[in-house]
Amino acid sequence: MLWALNGTAPMTLPEPHALSTLLVHAGREDFDALGVHAPPIDLSSTYPVRDLAAGTASFDALVAGAARAENPIYARLHNPTVARVEQAMARLEGADAAVAFASGMAALTAVLLAAKARGGHVLAVRPLYGTADHLLASGLLGIETEFVEAGAIAARRRPDTALVLIETPANPTLDLVDIDAVVAAAGPVPVLVDSTFATPVLQRPIARGARYVLHSATKFLGGHGDVVAGIVACGEAEATALRSIRAATGALLHPLAAFLLHRGLPTLALRVERAQANAGVLARRLAEHPAVTRCCYPGLGTVRNAHLLGTQLAGPGSLLAFELAGGHAAAAAVMRAVRLCTPAVSLGSVDTLIQHPAGLTHRVLAGDEQRRHGITPGLMRLSVGIEDVEDLWRDLKAALQSIPFSR
């Protein structure tokens, strides 16, 4: 039985491996014992319990947040297909464990609920992903969030501060936040790094003292525009709390989505490297284009804390933001004009996506908050894909020339 093997096999690779090897092999450690070459998809919603005493023990363990038990009991408590991609992500982030959720927002919600149980005051550094900002600012979860500059964390820490939350590179301006400095300022308070833009290929926050690493796996980890998922890598104690919350709230990753996520991981480094090479070329050309007044890209040094490139952040990545002289109307015209680039929200897909943060992803921020964090009416965010870079440039150049404000 698959679950029995999965529950008892030592799920670790025998020795340390380079990231590119882990991307291909992590979470697949039980394949040999199973006699398979691809992850089995277990779609069971429930599992037979023949031995009631053993079933009760498994139930108790899973509800309390155990990573696995002899019997999965019920799909809201455990799923072996999901557990494999969790194991892979833990290895990739250098963490004890990882916990997968139905989306990035479900993952963040679980971390915030865990923080609420520990005190309920959260310090967060803007800019953040628009919906994350909205969830924190709305008070919906009964958490008190204080938005602070990274430099003010130590001064604003309180006895009931349960979490410090940062996003680096930040969405949509690509500003970088110094993880080492934030971890030092947070002291005993756990730090969560939303590392969605970086992926484990470019950044490893756990090694810098972060307690949680969050990914919207919808983006680079899935990578093909067909999965919505969230994942948190963290220590075993934190993971136990998150699994217990997930069992209670039900924000599960479906095994088919987990399979697709796991399916995409082996090519993650290749995708990130190719998209990053394309982005470097496009960033330089956009910065020089007469319709563009600024181009934010870590590789151009045009973002906050760009000096962290090469240390904290191994490469500049494939996201960039650029400001159009023609403002909102010019951005709307570009959305209409692109043919090869997809005018859509989301990012980290194999295809190039372009969108308007003020009108879409960061719409939920108040206008003055948008402006204060550089989300201007003419700002566009480009998530560069793995297409041929000259084809992409031709499309972007034509779109920029079509706008009424081009010179």
Ligand X SMILES: *Cc1c(COP(=O)(O)O)cnc(C)c1O
Whole-angstrom distance, CA of residue 46 vs CA of residue 138: 37
Residue nearest to ligand X (CB): 104
Residue 328 tokens, joined:
């909102």
375 binds ligand X (CB under 6 A): no
**Number of neighbours of residue 314 by Cβ within 10 angstroms:** 15
397 is catalytic: no
Least Å from the CB of residue 132 to ligand X: 5
Only one of the segments 53-61, 216-224, 254-262, 324-332 lies at the binding site for ligand X (rule: CB under 6 A); that segment is 216-224
178 binds ligand X (CB under 6 A): no
> Please, which residue, 219 or 246, has the CB nearer to ligand X?
219
103 binds ligand X (CB under 6 A): yes
157 is catalytic: no
379 forms beta bridges with 323
> Please, which residue, 257 or 330, has the CB nearer to ligand X?
257
Spatial neighbors of 107 by CB under 8 A, at least 6 apart, are: 99, 100, 101, 214, 215, 216, 230, 231, 232, 251
> Please, which residue, 218 or 276, has the CB nearer to ligand X?
218
300 binds ligand X (CB under 6 A): no
Alpha-carbon distances of 103 from 54, 115, 232, 235, 373, rounded to whole Å: 32, 19, 11, 20, 25
For ligand X, which residue of 6, 145, 168, 218 counts as binding (CB under 6 A)? Answer: 218
> Please, which residue, 233 or 291, has the CB nearer to ligand X?
233
> Please, which residue, 71 or 109, has the CB nearer to ligand X?
109
76 is catalytic: yes
Among candidate residues 323, 385, 377, 317, the one with its CA nearest the CA of residue 350: 385
> Please, which residue, 7 or 222, has the CB nearer to ligand X?
222
Spatial neighbors of 394 by CB under 8 A, at least 6 apart, are: 340
349 binds ligand X (CB under 6 A): no
Least Å from the CB of residue 270 to ligand X: 21
For ligand X, which residue of 71, 81, 87, 196 counts as binding (CB under 6 A)? Answer: 196
Least Å from the CB of residue 196 to ligand X: 4
216 binds ligand X (CB under 6 A): yes
For ligand X, which residue of 61, 110, 228, 268 counts as binding (CB under 6 A)? Answer: 228
For ligand X, which residue of 30, 133, 167, 175 counts as binding (CB under 6 A)? Answer: 167
| Enclosing H/E stretch for 242 | helix 236-249
**How do strand 121-124 and strand 144-147 relate by DSSP bridges?**
parallel
**Per-position DSSP letters for 161-207, written without gaps between them:** EEEEEEESSPTTT-----HHHHHHHHTTS-EEEE-TTTHHHH--GGG
Is-contact 289 403, C-beta < 8 A? no
Is-contact 373 141, C-beta < 8 A? no
219 binds ligand X (CB under 6 A): yes
For ligand X, which residue of 61, 105, 286, 396 counts as binding (CB under 6 A)? Answer: 105
**How do strand 379-383 and strand 319-324 relate by DSSP bridges?**
antiparallel
194 binds ligand X (CB under 6 A): yes
Alpha-carbon distances of 312 from 209, 214, 302, rounded to whole Å: 12, 16, 17
Least Å from the CB of residue 143 to ligand X: 17
Alpha-carbon distances of 195 from 237, 249, 304, rounded to whole Å: 21, 24, 16
194 is catalytic: yes
> Please, which residue, 170 or 400, has the CB nearer to ligand X?
170
**How do strand 161-167 and strand 191-194 relate by DSSP bridges?**
parallel
Least Å from the CB of residue 165 to ligand X: 11
Q: Per the residue annotation, which of 68, 126, 208, 219 is the catalytic one?
A: 219
- By CB under 6 A, the residues from 122 to 141 that bind ligand X are 129, 132
Q: Per the residue annotation, which of 76, 204, 208, 381 is the catalytic one?
A: 76
Interface residue list for ligand X (CB under 6 A): 103-105, 129, 132, 167, 171, 194, 196, 216, 218-219, 228, 230
| Active-site annotation, residues | 76, 129, 194, 219
